[in-house]
Amino acid sequence: MKISAKLSLFFLFILTLFLSAALTFFYIQTRGHLLDIIFSNLNGLASLKAQRLNVLLQQYQQESSALARSPWIVQPLKNMQGAAAGDEVLNALNASLSQIQRLDNAAYEIFILDPRGKVIASSDLTRLGADKSDDAYFLGAQNGPYVKDVYLSPTTRKFGFAVSSPIHDPQTGSWLGVVVTRYTLEDINMILTEHSGLGSTGETYLVNKYGRMITASRFLDNASLELKVDTDNLKKAFREHRDQRLAPGQEKTPLIYDDYRGQRVIGTHYYIPSMDWVVVAEMDTAEAFLPLKKIQMEFWFFLGLVPIISLLVAMYLARHISRPLNRLREGIVVIAAGGSNRKVAVTSHDELGEVAVAFNRMADDLQTSTTSIERLNQEIAERQKIEAGLKDSDEKIRVLASAAQDAMIMMDNRGTVIFWNPAAEKIFGYSAAEIIGQALHSILAPPRFQPASQAAMPDWQNTGKGNAVGKTLELAAIRKDGVEIPVELSLSSALLNGEWQAVGVMRDITKRKKIEAQIKAQGEFLNMAINSLTHPFYIIDANNYHIVLANDAAARGQPLGNMTCHKLTHHSDQPCGDAHRCPLREVKEKKRYVICEHQHFDPDGNKKFYEVHGYPIFDQDGNVAQMIEYSLNIDDRKQAEEKIRAANEELQAALKTSESLREDLEQARNKAEAASKAKSEFLANMSHEIRTPMNAILGFGQLLQRTPLDEQQKKYMSSVQSSGELLLRVIDDILNFSKYESGTVTLENIDFDIRYLINDVFKMILPKLSGKNIDTYIDIPKDFPQYLKGDPTRIRQIFVNLLNNAVKFTATGSIGIIAQVEQPADLSGKVTLRFRVKDTGIGIPEDKMGNIFNAFEQADTSTTRKYGGTGLGLAICASLVKLMGGKVWVESQQGQGSDFIIVAPFALADPAFQADIVPIATEKLRGKKTMIVDDNDLARQITERYCLDAGIEVLAIANGSSTALDQVRSLMVAGNKPDLILMDIMMPQMDGYHLAREIKALEGGGDIKLIALTSDVMSGTAEKSQEYGFDGYLPKPILEPELLQVIAAVLGDKRAAGPIVTRHTAAELTFLRKKILAAEDNPANQFLLENYFEILQCDCDFASTGRAAIEKLKHNRYDLCLMDVHMPDIDGLEAARIIRQELKNKIPIIAVTADVFKNSIDQCLEAGMDDFVGKPIILDQLREKILKYA
C-alpha cells in the first residue's frame, strides 16, 4: 500500500475513533440523565397517588366508623337484641340509609348486618334478608373497620369495593352488627387516571393482588378487573414487597420493560400493603427518550462529516510527501538498470531536496568508473571459460577412476607407476603416494614371475606389444603385507607423448578361487553320498529319458553311457506305456514330487516291487528338465500287507456277531429302567395321596383345638392329633423304606446347622422320657463343625429312629449323643464325622447283631408286641447312611445297653449362608399380603386360616395354576402386589415348579417370595424347589408354627440368592442371634433363664436392677427386654417408664411377674410394657413371646 493511502487511512481511523468515543460517551451520559429525570418524575407520581389512595381509604373507613356510631343506627339495633324489630323501625332505618347513600356520590349501597350476618336494613330493599355471614366485609369488620378488595358483585354485577365497620353498644360494648358501604371505583379512578405530567403516553393505574388492573386503562377499554398485567415491574413489586416483605417506598432502580400492551416503557411502582395493591406509573420509552433522538441525529451527522474532512486533509499531506520520494525511486531504478546518466529533479529545499542533490552527484561518479571495468570484465570472462572446460574433463576422469572396483594402474615406458587408483590402493595396500614413481614389476610381481616380465620389457618399450598385451590373464600378485593373491589382469598399451605406456586393469580373484574350490569339494562329496546309497538312485533327462547320473547301486559297475531308464529297468527300448505308472511321466505331468509303486527288474535282472520316488528339477521356464529318481525295494512289505488284509476279514465277521448281543442287552436295560420309574412314580403318587388327606386331618385338628372345647373334647382331640401324627410316621417309614430299597431316592444337598439339628431331635424325644428315670446328654466338642451340606431331613430321620429305639428299650440310666471328628477336612473340603447314640437299655443279643439292620427284623419279635414298631427303623437308617457314603454298626451287650455308631463324610457349608436371613417377628407379619394356590380345597382353607389368624392379609386364592397366574397379574396391575405366595407343587395342568418360573418372569415378579408346600417329600424336592425359584419349602402336612416360622424367615431373607429356607432353617434362625436383655434380681431365676436361652440359642445379657437395665439399654442394642416387675432400687415399672419417656427407646418389653391379675397387667401396660409372662416361666411361653416380639 502506498504511503499516501496509509497516511490517509491512519488519519481517518484516529479521528473517527476519537469522535465516536466522545459522541458515544456524551450520548450515554445524556440518556442516563434523561432516564433519571423521567424515572424520578414517575416515582413521584406513583408515590403521590398511593398516598392519595391511602387518604381516600382512610376517609372511607372514618365515614364508615362514624356511620356505625350513629345513634339512629345503634339504638334500633340495641332495641332489636333478643326481639324482632318492628316494621316501622326497619322502614325508618332503610329510609335513612337510602338518604345517606344518595348524598354520597361514590357510595352505591349501604346496608346493615346483624350479628349472624343477615341483612336487616339496606338502602336497596331487594337485599333484605340476604345471608352475608361468610362474606369478608362481615368477617373482617368484627374488630374494626375493614376494606374489602375490589370485586364484581355477583348480585348487582357492579365493580366496587366495600368498607365495613362493627356496630357496638356504647354502654355495654356488646357487638350489635356490622354496617357496610359499597363504593364505586369513581374516586379511585379519578386519582389514578389523572395524567398530568405524563405526556401523551404515560399513565398510572392500580393493580390488585391477582395482577388485574383495577382502574381504567388510558389505552384500552373495559380493563377493570379484566386486564391481566404481567410485567417485570409488577413482578418486582410483588416479589420484593409482598413476598420478601421489603418496606414500600420510592424505587431506586428504573425499569425498562414491555407493558401490558407490549410497548417498551419506563416504569416504577408503589406497593400498598394494607390492600395488597400496587400503583404503577409508566411512560413509553419512545416519548421519554424523544429529546435524545434529536441528539442522535446530530451525532450521526458529525460522525459522517468528520471522517470526510479528515480524509481530504490526510490525502493532501500524503501527496506532498510521497511525490518527491517517487521521483527518487524512479532514478534509482534507472541507475540500477544501467542507465548511469539519470538525474533527479530537485524541487524543494527540505530533507527531500538534499537527498535529490546527493543522488545526482552519485550518478556522475558512477558513470566514470563504469567504462574501464567493462573491459576488464571481458578478459576475465574468457579465461574463466577455458579453465572451466579443463576442470570439467579432469573431474570426469577422476570420478571414473575413483568409482572403479578394479585396480587401474598406468606404467610409463620405464616401468614406473604413474597412475594408481583408489581400488588399487585397497587391493594391494599401497597408497598412491607410496607407489607412484616405483618400479611396478619389482613391487607387485611374485619373484618367480619377475625374470619373465623383465625379459619381455625391451620389446614392449619399443613396440608396445607383448604376450600379455590385449589379453586377460590369471596371475599372482603380492600385496604390501606380503600375501600373494590371485589376480585377473587385462593389459593394454597406449602411445602418449611419443612413448609407449601400459594401462592395466587388475581384479582380486581370491574369493572366486575359493568358491571354485568349494564347488569342487561339494561335487565330490555329493558323488560319494549318492554312491553310498544302497538303493538305486538316478538322475534322468526328462526329454530323452537318458540317465544323466546313476549311483553304483543302480549301475552295478556297468557303464550306462546313453542308456535310457526304461532300458535299464524294463529292458525295453520304448518308454513305459499305460500298463503301469511311470514316475517320469507323472512328474512331468504333475510337476511335483510323486511316489508310485512300480514292478521292474533290479540290477541283478530279477523282477521286484519298488516304491519309486520322483523329484522334479525345473529349468528356467518352469518345465521339468530332469528328474531325480530313488527306488526302494518293497517286496517284504507287500507280503505283510496281504497277511493283514486276511486278518481284517476275520475280524469283521467277529464284530457282526457281538453287535446283536449288544442290542439284546440294551433292550433288557430299558425294561428294567421303565419298571424302576414306574415304581418311583407309584411311590410319589402314594406319598401325595396319603399326605394330602393327612394334611387335612392334622390341619383341621389343630384349628379345632383352637376353638372353645370342654376338657373331654380337648382330650379326644389330643388323641386324634397324636394318633394322626403316629400314623403319618408309620406311613412315612413304609414309603421311605420302599424308596430307599429301590435305590432311586435322591438326597438333598442343602446347608444346615448340625448342632441345632442334634439339639432339636433331642428335644423331640424329651417328652417321651416323662416318668422315666433317665438322664440325657449331648456331647459335642468345640472343634466340631457347625454348618454342613447334606440332607438334614434324612439325618434327622436317622437320629430320630435311633433315639426312639433308645427311649423304647431303656427303662433307666441314660441316653446320649456323642459327636466326634473322625477325620478333619481334606483338600476337597469334606470332613468325616462320627456320631454315637448310646443308651443303657436292654442291649442286643450277639446272635442278632448281624441282622439287626435288615428290614422287618427285630432282635426279638416279642419286643414288637411289647415295644411296638414296624421293624423298618434300623433298615431305613442303614439305607440312608449307605446313601450318604457312610457306614453304621452297633456295639452292644445284652443287659448293658447299646452304642449305635455312624461314620459318614460331609461337605462343610459356608456359615455366611445364614448371615443375611433375619426372620421378622411374627407380630410384624400383620399387614403382609399373601396369595394361596392349591388345587385341594381343604388344604387351601387350612392355609388361609393360619394366615388370617396371624394377621396376614390373603389377597386371593387360586385352585390351579392357570387362574393363579392371571390373578397375580391382576393384583400387580392394581398396585396390590402380594409379598409372598404359598403354592402347592403337585397340581394338574401346570405344576408348582413351572408356575413359580412364570411368576418370577413377570415384570416385578422377582420381588414376590414363593414358598412351596408339597406332599412329595421323596426325592430332592427342596433342591428342585430352589432351582425353580422358590424361596421357602415346607412339606405337608403343614403345622401352623412351622408355616409362620418359614414365612417370617423368608420375608426376613435379604440375600440375593442362596439355599432355600426350610422349616429347619427357619427354626434354626428364629432364635439364632436374638439378643435378649433380662432384668432379673433373683439368681435362681437368672440360672433358669440362662438355660432356656441356651436351648433357644439366643444371646442373653442380665441386669439385676432396673437402673442397671436402663444403663445397658443406653449403650447396647437388644431385640427384646424381659423385665421383672419387682426389683430393688428402680423396679420394673419405673424402669419401663424411663425407657419409654426419657430414653425414647421402643424395644419390646415383656413383664415377668407372678401377679397376673388384670390390675397388675394394666399397670405394666400403662408403664409402657408390651406384654407379660407369668412366673414360673415356661419355656414354650418364652419361646412364643420371643417369636412374637423379637
Query: Interface residues with other proteins (CB under 8 A)?
Result: 1, 117, 131, 133-136, 139-140, 142-143, 149, 151-152, 154, 208-212, 225, 228, 230, 235, 238, 243, 276, 974-975
Residue 179 has, within 13 A of its CA and on its CB side, a CA count of 28
C-alpha cell at 151: 370485586
Stated length of the chain? 1190
Taking the least distance from each CB to other proteins, the nearer of 243 and 783 is 243
Cβ 117 to other proteins shortest distance, Å: 7
Listed residue (800, 1036, 828) closest to 939, CA to CA: 1036
Taking the least distance from each CB to other proteins, the nearer of 132 and 342 is 132
* DSSP for residue 923: G
Count the Cβ atoms, other than its own, within 10 Å of residue 654: 8
| Distances, alpha carbon 525 to alpha carbons 513, 520, 540, 766, in Å | 19, 9, 20, 104
Task: Write phi, then psi, for 859 (nearest 5 degrees).
Answer: -60, -35
Taking the least distance from each CB to other proteins, the nearer of 244 and 828 is 244
Cβ 260 to other proteins shortest distance, Å: 12
Cβ 224 to other proteins shortest distance, Å: 11
Contact between 427 and 506 (Cβ < 8 Å): yes
Cβ 211 to other proteins shortest distance, Å: 6
Taking the least distance from each CB to other proteins, the nearer of 2 and 591 is 2
Cβ 1 to other proteins shortest distance, Å: 6
Q: How far apart are CA 1074 and CA 1062, in angstroms?
A: 19
Cβ 722 to other proteins shortest distance, Å: 47
Taking the least distance from each CB to other proteins, the nearer of 56 and 136 is 136
Taking the least distance from each CB to other proteins, the nearer of 143 and 707 is 143
Q: How far apart are CA 1075 and CA 369, in angstroms?
A: 125
**Start-end of H helices in 479-633:** 510-532, 552-555, 565-570, 583-590
Taking the least distance from each CB to other proteins, the nearer of 133 and 532 is 133
Task: Write phi, then psi, for 610 (nearest 5 degrees).
Answer: -130, 145
Taking the least distance from each CB to other proteins, the nearer of 227 and 859 is 227
Count the Cβ atoms, other than its own, within 10 Å of residue 1126: 13
Cβ 229 to other proteins shortest distance, Å: 10
Cβ 82 to other proteins shortest distance, Å: 15
Taking the least distance from each CB to other proteins, the nearer of 130 and 632 is 130
Cβ 693 to other proteins shortest distance, Å: 40
Strand order in the sheet with 484-496: 417-420, 407-411, 499-508, 484-496, 472-478
Taking the least distance from each CB to other proteins, the nearer of 212 and 1000 is 212
Taking the least distance from each CB to other proteins, the nearer of 74 and 178 is 178
| Distances, alpha carbon 556 to alpha carbons 211, 560, 602, in Å | 132, 10, 10
Cβ 975 to other proteins shortest distance, Å: 5
Q: How far apart are CA 159 and CA 151, in angstroms?
A: 6
Listed residue (998, 999, 955) closest to 975, CA to CA: 955
User: Does an H or E element contain 61, and which?
Assistant: helix 3-69
Taking the least distance from each CB to other proteins, the nearer of 209 and 471 is 209
Taking the least distance from each CB to other proteins, the nearer of 227 and 553 is 227
Q: Helix (H, G, I), strand (E, B), or coil: what is residue 1062?
A: coil
Sign of CA dihedral 83, 88, 92, 95: positive
Contact between 966 and 918 (Cβ < 8 Å): no
Q: What is the largest CA-CA distance in the chain?
A: 185
Cβ 139 to other proteins shortest distance, Å: 5
Cβ 136 to other proteins shortest distance, Å: 5
* DSSP for residue 416: B
Listed residue (94, 100, 142, 95) closest to 117, CA to CA: 142
Taking the least distance from each CB to other proteins, the nearer of 162 and 754 is 162
Task: Write phi, then psi, for 8 (nearest 5 degrees).
Answer: -60, -50
Taking each helix axis from N to C end, the angle separating 873-883 and 711-742, rounded to the nearest 10 degrees, works out to: 50
Cβ 160 to other proteins shortest distance, Å: 12
C-alpha cell at 919: 426372620
End-to-end CA distance of the chain: 99
